[in-house]
Chains A and B, each alone.
Chain A
Amino acid sequence: MKVKSLEELKKIREESMDKVNLREHGEINEDKIEILVGMATCGISSGARETLNEFVEEIKKEKLNNVKVIPVGCIGYCHSEPTVQVNISGEKPVLYGNVKGKRVHEIIEKHIKGGKPVENLILHVDFERA
């Protein structure tokens, strides 16, 4: 579909809003959870692809149909790659660092299913976005 005017673009924006609302505002009503995995070169070379695959596998295995795994770019925390952000509707997004192997399982069990963030893996976010 071709965009022909600013109005049309705005309409597409409206329609696409629910794709990012959870990330921006945490303001959706559905019981949806997003897992963002940092998939830039630095993340991938630290094993982000394996991490992403493990999340997908585990979610499939556990039949967590409301959880979506989304590859995103670099968040800048190279010292703690792979990084993963968990967005749960109505809660503050949580950023995790060094997420590999067993830790994937731990996040799924404790945070996604149990609703309690895994404190010792949390990274402090120290920036704001324009």
Chain B
Amino acid sequence: MTKPAEISAAETANENLPKEKFEELEKFINGLETTKGALIEILHKAQDIFGYLPRDVQLYVARKLGIPGAEVFGVVSFYSYFTTKPRGKHTISVCMGTACFVRGADKIIERLKEKLGIESNEITEDGLFTLKDVRCIGACGLAPVVMIDDKVYGRVKEEELDEIINTYRNQEVKH
């Protein structure tokens, strides 16, 4: 579900990506028995290391494997699990599986968009939250479900959203 707007070929390499992370990735790639058919596996690892897959990382993988950058980008943009944008400190995932949908998940995500002032797959101004709609996290018994990082909030009501968001905002204030 990567949107075309997220992707820009003109984007210059202005990201400050630490050298150690590239080294970690290189070590992983060198350790593979074969790189044949391993592109997705490598991209998973890269996203683990960097948190997202910026242009520079994609190009690095392409050069390392000796394949065109377009091929790497083709794969990155195809799969919804890969993201080319940095994530907020917390990721709010709203389950849009059918079970959650019939129990009102569509209203929940609309409210969240209003409250956070962002669309799906965007990051809030303060960098605290990324909002995502995801397909079925498998807690259908608790529908509708909102997941913040690894914590699952079940049977969520619209009225409860403020309180949930505020717990994360307050944590920031305390720190």
Contact = CB atoms under 8 A, between A and B. Distances in A.
Mutual binders A and B: yes
Given A42-B139, A45-B154, A46-B141, 16 more contacts: A41-B137, A41-B138, A41-B139, A42-B141, A42-B142, A45-B139, A45-B145, A45-B147, A45-B152, A46-B152, A78-B139, A78-B140, A78-B142, A79-B141, A80-B141, A81-B142
A96 to B, nearest CB: 16
Prevailing SS type, chain A contact patch: helix
A42 B141 CA distance: 8
Nearest to A74: B138
Interface in A79-93: 79-81
B19 to A, nearest CB: 37
Contacts, number: 28
Nearest to A77: B141
A85 B142 CA distance: 21
Contacts of A45: 137, 139, 142, 145, 147, 152, 154
Interface of A: 41-42, 45-46, 78-81
Contacts of B139: 41-42, 45-46, 78
A46 B138 CA distance: 11
Nearest to B140: A78
28 contacts: A41-B137, A41-B138, A41-B139, A42-B138, A42-B139, A42-B140, A42-B141, A42-B142, A45-B137, A45-B139, A45-B142, A45-B145, A45-B147, A45-B152, A45-B154, A46-B139, A46-B141, A46-B142, A46-B152, A46-B154, A78-B139, A78-B140, A78-B141, A78-B142, A79-B141, A80-B141, A81-B141, A81-B142
A30 B55 CA distance: 63
A79 B139 CA distance: 10
Nearest to A42: B139
Contacts of A42: 138-142
A71 to B, nearest CB: 17
